[in-house]
Amino acid sequence: MITYDEFKKVELKVAKVISAERIEGSDKLLKLQVSLGEEQRQIIGGIGKIYSPEEIVGKNIVIIANLEPRILMGLESQGMLLAADDSGKPVLLTPMGDAPPGSSVR
């Protein structure tokens, strides 16, 4: 269990996927460029077995924006996308409405 104050430290934001590509040497990882409104970031996500780059470009997703960067397959990931787990398959979390990139999720 975590406290509410601990949870409030996590910055969930809407991000628009501007580009996506497969990472050479991995069948699972995709390199995404996302827009948070006035800022762009690179996020490496393990969704490549289920989603093709073409089908997620232009989609709004939910990310953790204040996660410490991490190197995956030699590439820096500047956040983490959120996905539900459906029997081991990721299902991207997306806003239902037209929340602009950079919007806080609460």
Helix residue ranges, H only, 30-105: 53-56
Under a CB-based contact definition with an 8 Å cutoff, are residues 77 and 27 in contact?
A: no
Q: Is residue 89 very low, low, confident or very high in pLDDT (cuts 50, 70, 90)?
A: very high
Q: Residue 83 and residue 103: Cα distance in Å, rounded?
A: 18
Percentage of the chain modeled with pLDDT above 90:
96
pLDDT of res. 1: 96
Under a CB-based contact definition with an 8 Å cutoff, are residues 55 and 49 in contact?
A: no
- Tokens standing for 43? 């996020």
pLDDT of res. 84: 96
Does the structural domain 11-92 have CATH classification 2.40.50.140?
yes
pLDDT of res. 4: 95
Whole-prediction pTM: 0.93
Domain-wise residue ranges, the chain? 11-92
- Tokens standing for 77? 């990931």
Kindly provide the b/e burial profile for residues 25-42, where b requires at least 16 CB atoms within 10 angstroms of the residue's own CB.
eeeebbbbbbbbeeeebe
Give mean pLDDT, residues 53-74: 97
Q: Is the pLDDT of residue 26 over 90?
A: yes
